[in-house]
Structure formats: C-alpha cells, structure tokens
C-alpha cells in the first residue's frame, strides 16, 4: 500500500503553526493513514470514530514503563520521565485505575460545584489587577496577567498550595511540559525539564511533610492521611508524581482554553456579541472552543497484540499517533467542521480524550471556562487584541505564549 503521509510533515513548522489544512487532507484520505516504514509510528489515526475506538480499546495502551523498558529507553535516568511514568498519565491499567479512583474523589461534580465561589472570588481579584495593569488603554498580556494565574490559583486552592507560592509554578511547569511535545527533544530541553522536575518534587515533598504535621482542609492533607492509613493504596512515589501532574495539567490546559477562546471570540465579533447578550450560553461556547481549538491535539498508543485500525494492520508493539485535534474537525462527525459555531448540538468532541484516560479535570476546566468568560467580557466591553496573536507551535498544550490585549481605548496624548 502506498504511503499516504509523512511524520516529517506533521512535525514540520508549517503544520505546527496551522495544523488544520493538514488535518483536512488527512480526512480526504479516510480515517487512518499509514506512515513510512522508516517512521517510528505505524499509523496516524485521525477520523473521529477511529480515534474514539483507539482511545477506548484495551488493545491500545499508553506508553508505560513496560513499553519503554522493552524499547530500551533509559527513562529512569531522567527525573521528568520518572514522574511521567509513575503518574496516572502513563501508568499501566491496574496502577492507573487504583490511582485514578483515589484522585477522582477530589474532582467529583459536588466538589467542583463547591469550588465555584472560590473560582468567582479568584476571578474578580484577577480582573481587578488586570484592569489596573491595562488602565488608560495600555496593552497587557492576557496570558501572563490572567489566563495562567487563574487556573493555577484554582488548582492551588483545591490541592492546598499556599497562595504566596503559586507564582513560583508557571515557569517550572512550562519547562517540565516541554518534553510532552511530539518529536525528539534536545538534551538541553531534557536537562531543563529534569531540573524543573527536581524542583517540583522538592516542593511537594515539603508540602506533604507540612500537611502531615499540621493537616488543613485540602486535598494534599486528605491524600497524606489516606497514604498513612493504607500505604498499599498509593506508594510515596505515586503520590508525589500524581500531585505534580495534577497541578501541571490543572492549569496549563485551562489557561490555553481561556487564551484560545478569547482570541477566537475577539476575532468573531458577532459570536462575541451573542455571548455578551446571553451569558447563559457560556457552556455551549466552552464546548465549541474546546472542539475548534483544543489545548491538546494528540496522544500516543501502542498495540498490545497484532490488530488493525480502519483496515490497516498494526503489529504488536507498534505505536500509533492518535490525532484528537483532527478528530474534532472530522466532516463525517461535525457539519462544517472548520466553522466556529457555539450553537452546535451533540457537540461530543474529544478534547478531553476518551476511555480510561479521559481527562480527570474536565469538569473543573469546563466550570472555569463557563464562569470566567462571561465575567471577563462583562467587565471589559471594549476589550480588543493589542496585536496579532503570536504563533502557536505546539500540538501538545497548544496555546499562546503571549496574548496582548487592550481593555479600553487608548487615551490620546494631550
């Protein structure tokens, strides 16, 4: 069978800047495309039904420690990969289920609902600071001043990270997360990620010790108590790794939801006006933002035994690239998929993945978007972009590094 696509193209700068023309070409080829025999992965899976199936099929597994060991990857030498492989992100089925059942108690619908007053309080405080920074029409970076800070504060509130410590996290989390991007990473990036992993481990080790000595009403204290009562539920390494990943994931994806969403709306004044007029539509807007510009575009899986996807064979041990970002633009599933339409019905996108690894924080991210966007737009009715949004060159944790905005019209000089 002729090779349909090249991994080099997916990893190229043009597709990283704007992946959607490439995704449209993939959809014209079907739901699955073979890669070159020399590529490290067997297939690209991009159709909605095929992506949904692979994410749910137990034959396809995350690239856990067993897989990395068989592949001869010396992942234990690196602090960042030790955390990733010990966490729920890449844990095997049994370890994943055990840890997920424990951590999911922190993000039940009831607990998320109980967090809503805190989300609104944090939002209003940051909006006040944003207004001061952007007074008299001065440009302000929405990402640094608001989008990164709000979810960091919210997940900090949930876990019990002291407010004074939260500004310490974003730069370290960004450095840590760089290794998640598809493609090879430089040794410089890996060393920096290892350093960040060490700092994050040190921080949460100290926080766990502090909460053990003096418990608070927060998740870290609750997890310490569970771990001390029954060490078999969670090892010390698992507890640390999952706290780091939960904090990282808890604000990077939501920050990009807010940044991507704001840029989309400001560039579509008609859609923006509808939401301003009826804030109760916010939940539908959040779902369409997630479908149209998801913060995460791909996942990797390997076949536990010989199988097939869309009629193409996958040998045991071979990996596939699962393009959830492309699945969200599949014309077989979504009418006019390249149009931003918050009024869509049955908008069951795959921005939060599917199956056993469905995003643990999905309910919290949705709540933050639903509560924050109307409040932001109501507070600043004249908000505009101060410059064109910068390039986004990542497919994992895809969002803007900077998003300059003006909250009011500039004051003309005297």
Strand, coil or helix: what is 28? helix
Distance CA 154, CA 370 (A): 14
Report, in this order, helix, strand and coil percent for the chain, each rounded to 5.
Answer: 60, 10, 35
Burial (CB count within 10 angstroms: exposed 0-12, middle 13-18, buried 19+), residue 253: buried
Distance CA 338, CA 356 (A): 28
Q: Transcribe 158-174 into DSSP letters.
A: HHT--GGGGGGHHHHHH
Strand, coil or helix: what is 308? strand
Distance CA 113, CA 132 (A): 30
Distance CA 141, CA 102 (A): 37
pTM: 0.95
Q: In this model, does residue 1 exceed pLDDT 50?
A: no
Asked whether the beta carbons of 275 and 373 are under 8 A apart, the reply is: yes
Tens of pLDDT, residue by residue over 88-138, are 999 988 899 999 988 887 778 888 888 999 999 999 999 999 999 999 899
Q: In this model, does residue 2 exceed pLDDT 70?
A: no
Q: Which CATH class is domain 7-406?
A: mainly alpha
Tens of pLDDT, residue by residue over 24-52, are 999 999 999 999 988 999 999 999 999 99
- pLDDT above 70 as % of the chain: 98
Instruction: Give me the residue spans of the domains in the chain.
Output: 7-406
Sequence-ordered alpha helix ranges (H) in 267-343 = 269-277, 282-292, 324-327
Extract the tokens encoding 405: 């905005």
Q: In this model, does residue 3 exceed pLDDT 60?
A: no
Strand, coil or helix: what is 327? helix
The 8-class DSSP code of residue 188 comes to H
Tens of pLDDT, residue by residue over 359-382, are 999 999 999 999 999 999 999 999
Tens of pLDDT, residue by residue over 66-99, are 999 999 999 999 999 999 999 999 998 889 999 9
């Amino acid at each position: 069978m002729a090779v349909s696509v090249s991994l080099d193209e997916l990893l190229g700068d043009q597709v990283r800047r704007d992946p959607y023309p490439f995704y449209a070409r993939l959809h014209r080829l079907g739901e699955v495309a073979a890669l070159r025999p020399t590529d490290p992965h067997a297939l690209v899976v991009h159709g909605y039904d095929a992506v949904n199936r692979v994410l749910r099929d137990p034959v396809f597994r995350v690239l856990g420690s067993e897989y990395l060991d068989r592949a001869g990857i010396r992942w234990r030498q690196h602090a960042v990969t030790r955390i990733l492989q010990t966490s729920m992100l890449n844990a095997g089925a049994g370890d994943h289920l055990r840890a997920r059942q424990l951590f999911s108690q922190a993000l039940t619908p009831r607990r998320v609902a109980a967090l809503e007053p805190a989300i609104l309080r944090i939002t209003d405080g940051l909006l006040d600071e944003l207004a001061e920074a952007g007074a008299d029409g001065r440009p302000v970076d929405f990402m640094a001043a608001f989008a990164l800070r709000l979810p960091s504060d919210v997940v900090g509130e949930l876990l019990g990270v002291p407010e004074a410590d939260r500004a310490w996290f974003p730069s370290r989390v960004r450095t840590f997360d760089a290794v998640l991007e598809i493609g090879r990473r430089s040794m410089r990036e890996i060393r920096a990620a290892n350093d960040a992993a060490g700092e994050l481990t040190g921080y949460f080790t100290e926080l766990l010790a502090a909460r053990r000595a003096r418990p608070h009403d927060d998740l870290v204290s609750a997890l310490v108590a569970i771990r001390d009562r029954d060490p078999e539920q969670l090892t010390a390494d698992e507890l640390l790794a999952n706290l780091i990943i939960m904090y990282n994931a808890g604000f990077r994806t939501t920050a990009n939801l807010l940044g991507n969403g704001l840029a989309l709306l400001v560039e579509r004044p008609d859609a923006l006006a509808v939401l301003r007029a009826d804030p109760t539509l916010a939940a539908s807007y959040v779902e369409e933002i997630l479908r149209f510009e998801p913060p995460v575009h791909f996942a990797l899986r390997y076949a536990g035994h010989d199988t097939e996807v869309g009629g193409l064979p996958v040998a045991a041990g071979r990996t596939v690239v699962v393009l959830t970002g492309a699945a969200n633009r599949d014309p077989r599933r979504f009418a006019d998929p390249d149009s931003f339409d918050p009024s869509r019905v049955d908008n069951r996108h795959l921005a939060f993945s599917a199956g056993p690894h469905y995003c643990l924080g999905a309910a919290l991210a949705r709540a933050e978007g639903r509560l924050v966007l109307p409040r932001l737009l109501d507070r600043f009715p004249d908000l505009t972009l101060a410059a064109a949004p910068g390039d986004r060159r990542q497919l994992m944790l895809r969002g803007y590094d900077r998003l300059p905005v003006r909250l009011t019209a500039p004051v003309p000089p005297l």
